[in-house]
Amino acid sequence: AQSVSQHNHHVILSEAASLELGCNYSYGGTVNLFWYVQYPGQHLQLLLKYFSGDPLVKGIKGFEAEFIKSKFSFNLRKPSVQWSDTAEYFCAVRFGTGGFKTIFGAGTRLFVKA
Amino acid sequence: KAGVTQTPRYLIKTRGQQVTLSCSPISGHRSVSWYQQTPGQGLQFLFEYFSETQRNKGNFPGRFSGRQFSNSRSEMNVSTLELGDSALYLCASSPGDGYNEKLFFGSGTQLSVL
């Protein structure tokens, strides 16, 4: 069955530290990849997405992610986190034919200490 | 443009009862997906509807059902509630059912089963 795995459930960093959140998926066909973020008290919202082309994609607020097809991975990175990045981050994969679905990982809770 | 609206915001039910949750997508969006969110499990895919047709279904028992109306509004029904059904139920809409659709989420309905 198709699945999305996020390597870390909880991450605690100090401001200015670098961030990398791991994401792997299992699906043999073509996929579109997403990272969504849920800030405290807010809706889930799109952070960035990969459809095709350059495997290094940039999103909002200085986040970027790299798609490595051979590793079925789509890791999220940020060179220097801020206190306002405290949130829960979800990796997601969209796939299908004749009807699509988006499945999500379990999420990673990031806490950034000021 | 109004966002995705879910009602009610909170629900308390007892075991054995049934419940209906409602979702109004963003105006013009024709696809609606439902997810169950629980701590540590992330978002579990329930189903996705497009133009009143269920296009995809997750691995949930038949007690979970849904439908979509001609105005794209969607309802989700859970019958014979169990304690384990306590969760945040999220609805997401997107313009179509394309491969590269990003999802727009509502605030969710928090269901507590006692």
Q: Supply the pLDDT for residue A79.
A: 97
Nearest to A100 among B43, B56, B105 (CB): B56
Could you give the angle at the alpha carbon of B25 between the alpha carbons of B21 and B28, nearest 5°?
155
Task: Over range A49-73, report the average pLDDT.
Answer: 94
At residue B77, the 3 state secondary structure works out as strand
Taking CA atoms, B107 is separated from A65, B36, B87, in Å, by: 26, 12, 13
Q: Supply the pLDDT for residue B93.
A: 95
Amino acid identity for residue A103 in this structure: I
Residue B10, pLDDT > 70, answer yes
Give the closest-approach CA distance of A80 to chain B in angstroms: 26
Tens-place pLDDT, residues A62-102? 999 999 999 999 999 999 999 999 999 999 999 887 678 89
Task: Over range B49-65, report the average pLDDT.
Answer: 93
Residue B27, pLDDT > 80, answer yes
Amino acid identity for residue A60 in this structure: I
- Residue A104's DSSP bridge partners are A92
**Tokens in use for A111?**
């806490």
Tens-place pLDDT, residues B72-93? 999 999 999 999 999 999 999 9
User: With an 8 Å Cβ cutoff, are A103 and B33 in contact?
Assistant: no
Query: In the structure, what pLDDT confidence band is assigned to residue B1 with cuts at 50, 70 and 90?
Result: low
On whether the CB atoms of residues A65 and A48 are closer than 8 A, the answer is yes
